[in-house]
């Protein structure tokens, strides 16, 4: 579905919270925040969470799940990527193409930044030990 009413967004959140909790995970966006954003009629409402799975060939995989909803009017939202890109372009006074190209460039830069995932994991573990947690 490309268009949602507020109730349908809340249904999406509630359905996924049940699944998230059944796996022992937590959402990145609390349900209360989604409700507040809907009630305040903010232009963007998002709900996200991380999931993980163990892969035999390439080890542990982390996957980000969720959706962003852009408000079209009082009780109508979309999760269409183009509509969201259009919103971001309007906010930044850019074209949709500029937004798409910028996102692709940021994605490529992020890929270059992580050369050795094992070294990154070790660094995080080291920092956690330093904090005593």
Mean confidence (pLDDT) of the chain: 85
- Rg (C-alpha) for the chain, rounded Å, is 18
Residue range 12-31: average pLDDT? 92
Residue range 108-130: average pLDDT? 74
CA proximity to 46, closest of 18, 84, 99? 84
The pLDDT confidence band at residue 59, using thresholds 50, 70 and 90, is: low
pLDDT of residue 15 exceeding 90, the answer is yes
Task: Give the three-state DSSP class for 70.
Answer: strand
pLDDT for the residue 109? 84
Give 49's contacts (C-beta < 8 A, 6+ positions apart). Answer: 16, 20, 25, 26, 27, 28, 29, 64, 65, 66
The pLDDT confidence band at residue 121, using thresholds 50, 70 and 90, is: confident
| Distance from C-alpha of 69 to C-alpha of 47, rounded to nearest angstrom | 9
Which tokens hold the place of 120? 């990154």
| Distance from C-alpha of 99 to C-alpha of 46, rounded to nearest angstrom | 19
Owner of token pair 């249904």: 11
| Distance from C-alpha of 90 to C-alpha of 47, rounded to nearest angstrom | 22
Per cent of the chain over pLDDT 90 is 50
pLDDT of residue 88 exceeding 90, the answer is no
Please spell the DSSP secondary structure of 89-107, one letter per residue.
HHHHT--HHHHHHHHHHHH
Give the predicted TM-score (pTM) of the model: 0.63
Spans of all domains in the chain: 3-79
């Amino acid at each position: 579905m490309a268009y949602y009413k507020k109730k349908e967004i809340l249904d999406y959140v509630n359905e996924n919270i049940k699944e998230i909790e059944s796996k022992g995970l937590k959402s990145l966006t609390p349900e209360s925040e989604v409700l507040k954003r809907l009630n305040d009629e903010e232009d963007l409402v998002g709900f996200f969470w991380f999931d993980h799975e163990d892969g035999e060939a390439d080890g542990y995989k982390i996957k980000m799940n969720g959706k962003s909803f852009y408000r079209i009017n009082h009780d109508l939202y979309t999760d269409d990527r183009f509509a969201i890109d259009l919103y971001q372009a309007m906010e930044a006074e850019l074209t949709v193409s500029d937004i798409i190209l910028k996102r692709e460039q940021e994605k490529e830069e992020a890929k270059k930044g992580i050369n050795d995932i094992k070294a990154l994991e070790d660094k995080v573990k080291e920092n956690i030990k330093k904090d005593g947690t």
